[in-house]
Amino acid sequence: MLQLCRNHFKREDIGFVQICEYSKEGKVARARDMFFHGDAHFLLYTERFHFFNRIRVKGIRHLIFYSPPNVPHFYYEMCNLMQESNMNKKIGSMSNMTVTVLYSKYDINQLSAIVGTDRAVRMIESERNVHMLVTDAKNTDTI
């Protein structure tokens, strides 16, 4: 999937950097810096890289999972990086942040580990194509 995204970004001339488990330390540092300072609009980041190297990715405003992570707590780790202390104050605002997870019926196990079994089943069996989880300090709910 990473190659599909990379090829699309190249074809459409979209600014991006990528990090995978085979990336050298210098390339990782350069990619993180470019992403944080807004020189690259997207950072393609693999789950395997996150498994082997728990780095703090700064500057995340919109997080897109191509499928639910195989290791459920990776979802929470990545979401927790979307804190004000990790943001570049010169780029964007804290008020417009999103997390998107693309999933199919075959992702039921990974999805249930993130949102719970009952909610995952309802989401998979639903007629609707989009499900929104709204989170605030008091409540998390499916709309």
pLDDT mean over 16-34: 95
pLDDT of residue 32: 94
Query: pLDDT over 90 for what percent of the chain?
Result: 61
pLDDT mean across residues, the chain: 88
Residue 87 banded pLDDT, cuts 50, 70, 90: confident
Which residue has 């997207």 as its token pair?
A: 42
pLDDT of residue 3: 84
Residue 141 banded pLDDT, cuts 50, 70, 90: low
Residue 88 banded pLDDT, cuts 50, 70, 90: confident
Spans of all domains in the chain: 2-102
Residue 5 banded pLDDT, cuts 50, 70, 90: confident
- Looking at 3.10.180.10, 3.30.830.10, 3.40.50.300, 1.10.357.10, the CATH number of the domain 2-102 comes to 3.40.50.300
pLDDT of residue 143: 46
pLDDT mean over 66-80: 92
pLDDT of residue 96: 77
Residue 94 banded pLDDT, cuts 50, 70, 90: low
Kindly report the CA angle at 52 between 26 and 57, in degrees rounded to 5? 60
| Cβ pair 14, 42 in contact under 8 A | yes
Q: Is the pLDDT of residue 77 over 70?
A: yes
CA 46 to chain centre: 10
Residue among 143, 115, 117, 116 at smallest CA distance from 131: 143
